[in-house]
Amino acid sequence: MRKKITFFIIISFFVFIAPIHARTLKEIIDSGFIIIGIRNIPSDIIYQPDIINKPGFCYELAKSFADYLHVDMKIKIIEFFSDYWTKDGKNMLKNNISGTPDIYKDIDFVADIITVNEKRKKIVNMIPFIENSELFFARKDAHIDSYNDFKGKKIITAESYNFYTTLINELKKRNIHYTINRINIKNNKFIFWDEYKEPSKEDVEILLIPEGIRPDRYTFYYQVILGNADISILDSFSFFAKVFNTYTFKEYLKPLFIANENIGYLAFCTSFDTPELSNSLENFMTLFKETEKFNMLFKKYMGINYYDYLEILERKK
């Protein structure tokens, strides 16, 4: 009898601690709903639930996929971008941890602007939904035509963003020295986390918002406009959406150049445990992008047609 009780306790223990994997496509369809993970920054290109007529490009694109599957859509709000890559409290990308991010215990897929790169592709399935490049921008009166013109300038970005890695790699590639000062921002004033490091005249000063701090959606635009920073870097999709639809940004800001020559993609993400869901989402994206409905959705948030946007990317290369 004691052996049976012990066996029952052991089995119960393993059942209790066993991880819950992302649901299969069949389980999603049978349940009648799909669960997306999305940040409420808020952002018009991601999710802004308080704006009924423009709840967010990613949100509406995900909703179109839910309609394609004939299921309802439920939302789990994700606090930080780094949560997409966290397992057992550790950042999988920084610590070279394999497996499935914990977030997929609670959601079916991520509907957010995730830049596709090789490290992330080793952790999750990435289903591209839009062409994209990492783009530097500055004030309209700035005379900056190349990376060499970055010397002596201040560039603001965030540690948790892929743009930071791109910036560092491109500066190193050109043997351009840089100094990093970590900051928080209060009332448009910088609060330095550590003792301020004075950059040399030839150094690029990187004003870095540390991981774990979520920048306001307009932070980088305004800090450049105000002159607190000279340059910032964002994905072209986000930049053009803001500039085409915001008078102040259109008046004072201009794109500089693409961070590197390759046009990449922004993607939604799924767990490797759900290949059928990944295939269905990929098929949907391929078909939907050929429709006028996608072009109308794109224009609603970007202010220009989808194919005009592609032409702009080509001109900026």
Q: What is the pLDDT of residues 219-247, one digit of tens each?
A: 999 999 999 999 999 988 888 888 877 88
pLDDT one-digit tens code per residue, 81-131: 999 999 999 999 989 999 999 999 999 999 999 989 999 999 999 999 999
Identify whether residues 127 and 269 lie together within a single domain: yes
In a domain, 99, yes or no: yes
Residue 4: inside a domain, yes or no?
Answer: no
Q: What angle do CA 37, 17, 274 make, to 5 degrees?
A: 40
In whole angstroms, give the CA distance from residue 79 to residue 167.
25
**Residue 17 falls within a domain, yes or no?**
no
Domain that holds residue 203: 134-258
Domains in the chain, number: 2
Domain co-membership, 50 together with 64: yes
Tell me, yes or no, whether 7 lies in a domain. no
Domain harbouring 300, CATH code: 3.40.190.10
Per-residue model confidence as pLDDT tens digits over 135-159: 999 999 999 999 999 999 999 999 9
Percent of the chain with pLDDT over 70: 92
104 and 251 inside one domain? no
Q: Are residues 119 and 34 in the same domain?
A: yes
198-236 CB burial, b ≥16 within 10 A, e <16: ebeeebbbbbbbebeeebebebbbbbbbeebbbbbbbbb
Task: Give the whole-angstrom CA distance, residue 169 versus residue 174.
Answer: 9
Q: What is the mean pLDDT of residues 293-301?
A: 95
In a domain, 15, yes or no: no
Specify whether 103 is located in the same domain as 38: yes
Annotate 261-282 with DSSP letters as a single string.
S--EEEEEEE-TT-HHHHHHHH
Measured CA to CA, the distance from residue 257 to residue 312 in angstroms comes to 11
Q: Are residues 64 and 112 in the same domain?
A: yes
Residue type, 157: T
Q: Are 41 and 214 in contact (CB under 8 A)?
A: yes
Do residue 205 and residue 305 come from a single domain? no
Do 198 and 148 fall within a single domain? yes
Shared domain check, 120 and 67: yes
Residues in the chain: 317
Dihedral of alpha carbons 226, 215, 203, 168, sign? negative
CA contacts within 13 A on the Cβ side of 149: 12
152 occurs within a structural domain: yes
Asked, for residue 279, whether it belongs to a domain, the answer is yes
Order of all β-strands in the sheet with 189-192: 189-192, 178-186, 204-209, 154-158, 231-235, 134-139, 253-258
CB 276 within 8 A of CB 108: no
User: Which residue, 258, 275, 291, sits at the end of a domain?
Assistant: 258
Confidence of residue 10 (pLDDT cuts 50, 70, 90): very low
- Are 203 and 227 in a shared domain? yes
Same domain, 273 and 246: no
Structure token pair of residue 71? 């299921």
Q: Are 100 and 138 in the same domain?
A: no
